[in-house]
Structure 1
C-alpha cells in the first residue's frame, strides 16, 4: 500500500490512497509567551499594536488644515451625503475655501456627478457627523481609525494563516510603520477603506476554511459520510458582505470577489480530498462551489445595491429621475433601478476613458519598487514662517512606502511565488491571491491614468509575503538551533533597519516643517520629486 505524504498546514495537493480515509491533519495552535496563555498573549499584543498604530495615525492629524489632494472631492461629497443622502455640487470658486473657513453649507442645490459608489464617502461622513465637518479631525478621523483597525486585522489574519503569534505581531508592526499605509490613514481618500474591506473578507474566509475543516474532522468515522457537514456558512456570507462594501467603495473590489470566490472553493476541494472523500470533485462542486457563489456573490450584490439607499431615497440624486424623464419604466421600483443602471453605464465610460495626463501618474510595474510616489501635499516656507529656522523649508506629505519594506517585500513575493508553484504550498498561494486581485488587474489599464498610491489596497498581502519568508528562514520545529539563531539575528537586523528608515521618512509622511536640504536628501531618485 502506498503511503500518504505528510501535509503542511498551509495546504497540499497530495492525494490520499483510494479506499482509505486520510488521517485528519493536525494544526498546531500558537503558544503564549512568558508563561501566559495563548489567548492572553494574543490580546496583550493586539492592545500594544492598537495603541502604537493609533498613536502614529492620530498624531497631529489636524496639523494640515487644508483639504489634501483628492480630499477636495471625497470630503465634500461625504458632507453632502450626510446632509442630503446624495452628493451635491459645490461652487468651484468657494468649495475648498468653504471647508477651510468653516462655511460648509455653501454647496449648490444641483446634484453632483461622481464616479465612485458611496460607501467610502459614508465612512468619511461618520467622522464628520461625530466631530464636525468644519475641521480636519472631523473629516480624517474615520480613515485614521480604520487604518488602525487594519493593522489589528492583519495581526489576526496572519496569526490564523501562519499559526504564529510572533510573526503575526511583526506583520502588524511592519504595516503600522510603512508610509503608504500611514499616509493613507491620515488622509481621507478611498483606497485604504477599500483595502480594509478586502482584508476583512480574506480574514472571514480563513475563518470559514478552518470551520469547514473542523466540521469534516468531527464527522470523520461517524458514518455520516462527506455530504452536508456544515449548516449555513455564515463566515462566507460575512465575506460576501465585506466584498459588497468593498465594491461600494470602488469597483475594483470586484476583482477580490472573483479571486477570493475561486480561492475559497479550492480550499473546500482540497479539504475534501485531504480527508479522503472519494467524490471530492462532485461534492465540492455541488455542495460547496454552487452554494459559495450564491453566498458570496449574492450577499455582495445585495450589500452593494443597499449601499445606494441614500440615492434611492432622494429625488435629487444625479440621474435619479433619468428613467422617468425618458419613459423607460412604468413603476417606481423599475424606474429607480433603470436610472441606477444608466448611472453605472456613465460611470463605467468615465473610468475606461480616463486618459488625462497627471504629474504623478505611474504605470503599475513601478508600484512594487515605489518608483513614482504621489505627492499628497507640499508647501514651501522661508525663514520665520511656520517655525522655519533656516533660509528655506519644506512641509510635505509624500505617499511613498518605506523603501526597505517594499524592496524586500518585492523579493519576498518572488520567493512566495516560487514556493507556491514548486511546493504547491497553499499558504503561499493564499498570500498571492491578494496580489492577483489587487495588483495584476491594473496591467490591463496601461493607457488609463492610474497612480502608485493604489498599492495600499494589496499592501497587507505584501507584508504577509515578508513574514512568510521569515517563517521559511526560521525553518520550523525541525530546524537546528544554530539555524534559528542566525535567522532570528537576520530578521531582527532587517526589522531594526526598516524601523530606522521609517524614522528617517517620518517628517515627509506627516507634513513636518523641515529644512529644504533635508527634504531634498529624501529624494534619492528624480522620479521621487
Structure 2
C-alpha cells in the first residue's frame, strides 16, 4: 500500500510578497526590546504630555488680574467659605468703575459680611479653590484663586493619558489622548478659569479609572473562583459573593467627591453603578454560571449598591461639615427661626440641624431645576456637539496706544471655543466607536462611550434650562479617548502591509500637526492675550461664536 505525498502549495515569489510594517516600526521595536526601555516609555509619554499641559495652563496664569465670568461667584464664595465655614454675603456691585469684583481683585478680600448667602452648589469645589487662595495669600495675585483648578486640569491630562493607555493597551495611543487633551482650547480655558466643572470632570475621571480597574479585578477573581470550583468538582450554578471590590468602593468615593462639587456628579455614579452590575452579569454568563441573572440581581447587585452609594452619600454629607459645625449658614436655623416645623412621626428623631439642611437641599434642587433665566451665552444641550454657542468668559477692548495696542483696535479675550479640529473630530470618533461597538462588540469602545453618555445624556432632560457649552468639559476626556482610539484604527497594526501602515502613520501625523497648529493659533484667545481686532475676529468662524 502506498501513499501519495501532497504537493506543496505554490508560494508567491518574494518580490510579489508585500512587506509589512515600516522601518520606523522596526527601529522602534528594537528600541523597546530592552525591558527597562519599555518601562521608561510607558511613563515617558504620559508625563511628557502632562508637562506640556502644565506649561499651557500655568504660563501667565494671573492674566487677567480680574474675576472673569462666574469666577465672580466661586472665587469670592470660596474665600468666605474658608473663613466662615459657609458662604457669606458680598456687597452688591452698583458702579461699573468700583465693583465688588474690582475691590476683591485689588486686595479688599474681607468686605463680605457674616450674613449667609444662598448657594446653589455643594461646597467641595469652593474649598479646593479656597485652598489655593490661602496658599497665595488671598486675592493679591490672581494665580491664587486659579492655581487649584489649573493643577486639577493638569492632573486630568495625566489621567486621560494613563487611562487611555490601559484601556487601549497602547502607550502611543494613551499619549495621543493626553496630548489632545493638553492642547485643546476648552480644556485649557477650564483649567485657567476658576469654575467648578473641570473639578467635576476630574473626579468623574477618577471614578472612570477606578471602574476600569474594578472590571479587571472582578474578572480575575471570577476566573480564580471558576478554577477552584472546577478543581473541587463542584458545579457553578451560582456565582461568588464578591464583597472584596476595593476599586468599586473607590469608584463610589470618587463619584461622591464629584457630587460634592456639583450635583451633576450624581449622574456619573448612576451610570457607572449600573454598568458595574451589567458587566458582572455578563461576566458570570461567560463563565458558564447557570443562574447568572439571578446571581447578579440577588447577590452582586445589592453588594455593588452597598459598595458605591453609601460612600457617595457619606462624602457628600461630609462636604457640608462647615455648614453643620457653624451656626451662620444659609437655612442653618430655619426651623428655630419659625421658617418651618419639625418632622413628625417616624422621622421625629432626626436632628433639627439635619432637617434644616434637608430643607436647604430641597431649595437647591428647586433652583437648579427651575433655572430658566435668559443668558446671552446659553447653549442648548442639543447643540453642544456642534459647538454652536461657546462661552465668552472675558473681553476687554483697547484702542491704538492703549495698554500697548499697536493697531487701530485691539482686544483681550478668553473664549471657550474648543480646538475645532479636535472637537469635531472627537464627535465623529464617538459616532464611529458607537457603530463599531454595535457591529464588533468591542467592550473598550462601549466603555469609552459610557463616559460620554454619563456626562451628556442626562442634560437632554433639561433642554429648557439655562446651561452653557463649557459644561461639556466633564465628558470631554472620554471624547478625546474616542478620538485616540479611532486614530489607532487609522494607524493600523505594526504588522500591517507597509503601504497601509505608512499611509496611516502619515495621515495621523498630518492630523496631529494640523491640530497643534490650530491650538497655537487659538491660544491667545484662550488666555486673554491682547491682540489686534483683525486677529481676534478671524477666530469667529460662525456668527454664533461672536
Q: TM-score, normalised by structure 1?
A: 0.91
Matches within 5 A, 1:196-345: 196-223=202-229, 227-228=239-240, 230-325=242-337, 326-328=340-342, 334-345=351-362
Say how many residue pairs are matched.
Answer: 500
| 2:101 corresponds to | 96
Q: Tell me the CA shift for residue 63 of structure 1.
A: 1.7
CA 1:285 to 1:329, structure 2 compared with 1: closer, same or farther past 3 Å? Answer: closer
SS of structure 1 residue aligned to 2:386:
coil
SS of structure 1 residue aligned to 2:393:
strand
Q: State the alpha-carbon separation in 2 of the partners of residues 59 and 494 from structure 1.
A: 26
Q: Tell me the CA shift for residue 445 of structure 1.
A: 1.2
Q: State the alpha-carbon separation in 1 of the partners of residues 492 and 46 from structure 2.
A: 25
Contact 1:216 1:229 in 2 (8 A): no
SS of structure 2 residue aligned to 1:222:
helix
Q: Tell me the CA shift for residue 95 of structure 1.
A: 2.6
Q: Tell me the CA shift for residue 157 of structure 1.
A: 0.9
Matches within 5 A, 1:453-464: 453-464=470-481
Matched, 1:107 2:112: yes
- Selected match of 1:351 from 345, 354, 368: 368
CA 1:170 to 1:31, structure 2 compared with 1: closer, same or farther past 3 Å? Answer: farther
- Selected match of 1:173 from 158, 175, 179: 179
Q: State the alpha-carbon separation in 2 of the partners of residues 332 and 129 from structure 1.
A: 39
Q: State the alpha-carbon separation in 1 of the partners of residues 319 and 467 from structure 2.
A: 25
Q: State the alpha-carbon separation in 1 of the partners of residues 107 and 56 from structure 2.
A: 27
CA 1:101 to 1:332, structure 2 compared with 1: closer, same or farther past 3 Å? Answer: farther
Which structure has the bigger radius of gyration? 2
Contact 2:123 2:320 in 1 (8 A): yes
Q: State the alpha-carbon separation in 2 of the partners of residues 110 and 220 from structure 1.
A: 62
Q: State the alpha-carbon separation in 1 of the partners of residues 32 and 296 from structure 2.
A: 39
Matched, 1:131 2:136: yes
Q: State the alpha-carbon separation in 2 of the partners of residues 105 and 131 from structure 1.
A: 15
| Structure 1 gap ranges (5+) | 1-29
SS of structure 2 residue aligned to 1:102:
coil
Q: State the alpha-carbon separation in 2 of the partners of residues 392 and 84 from structure 1.
A: 45
The range that moved more, 183-192 or 436-445, is 436-445
Contact 1:194 1:457 in 2 (8 A): yes
The range that moved more, 181-190 or 487-496, is 487-496
Q: TM-score, normalised by structure 2?
A: 0.88
Q: Tell me the CA shift for residue 284 of structure 1.
A: 2.4
SS of structure 2 residue aligned to 1:449:
coil
Q: State the alpha-carbon separation in 1 of the partners of residues 387 and 227 from structure 2.
A: 53
Q: Tell me the CA shift for residue 517 of structure 1.
A: 0.7
Matched, 1:83 2:89: no
| 2:542 corresponds to | 525
Q: Tell me the CA shift for residue 353 of structure 1.
A: 1.4
Contact 1:32 1:40 in 2 (8 A): no
Q: State the alpha-carbon separation in 2 of the partners of residues 155 and 390 from structure 1.
A: 41
Question: How large is the RMSD of aligned CA atoms in angstroms?
Answer: 2.0
Contact 2:84 2:114 in 1 (8 A): no
CA 1:287 to 1:475, structure 2 compared with 1: closer, same or farther past 3 Å? Answer: farther
Q: State the alpha-carbon separation in 1 of the partners of residues 52 and 491 from structure 2.
A: 26
| 2:59 corresponds to | 59
Matches within 5 A, 1:320-469: 320-325=332-337, 326-328=340-342, 334-469=351-486
Q: State the alpha-carbon separation in 2 of the partners of residues 261 and 440 from structure 1.
A: 16
| 1:151 corresponds to | 157
Q: Tell me the CA shift for residue 240 of structure 1.
A: 0.5
Q: State the alpha-carbon separation in 1 of the partners of residues 166 and 241 from structure 2.
A: 22
SS of structure 2 residue aligned to 1:448:
coil
Q: State the alpha-carbon separation in 2 of the partners of residues 111 and 273 from structure 1.
A: 54
Contact 2:186 2:470 in 1 (8 A): yes
CA 1:32 to 1:274, structure 2 compared with 1: closer, same or farther past 3 Å? Answer: farther
Q: What does the per-residue CA deviation read over 1:283-342, in whole Å, with 9 as the maximum and x for residues that have no partner? A: 223332211111111110111111111111110000011133334169996211111111
Contact 2:50 2:178 in 1 (8 A): no
Q: State the alpha-carbon separation in 2 of the partners of residues 497 and 350 from structure 1.
A: 43
Q: Tell me the CA shift for residue 123 of structure 1.
A: 1.0
Q: State the alpha-carbon separation in 2 of the partners of residues 32 and 203 from structure 1.
A: 29
Contact 1:244 1:303 in 2 (8 A): yes
The range that moved more, 329-338 or 460-469, is 329-338
Q: Tell me the CA shift for residue 253 of structure 1.
A: 1.2
Q: State the alpha-carbon separation in 2 of the partners of residues 305 and 467 from structure 1.
A: 37
| 2:43 corresponds to | 43
| 1:9 corresponds to | none
SS of structure 2 residue aligned to 1:322:
coil
SS of structure 1 residue aligned to 2:335:
helix
The range that moved more, 426-435 or 300-309, is 426-435
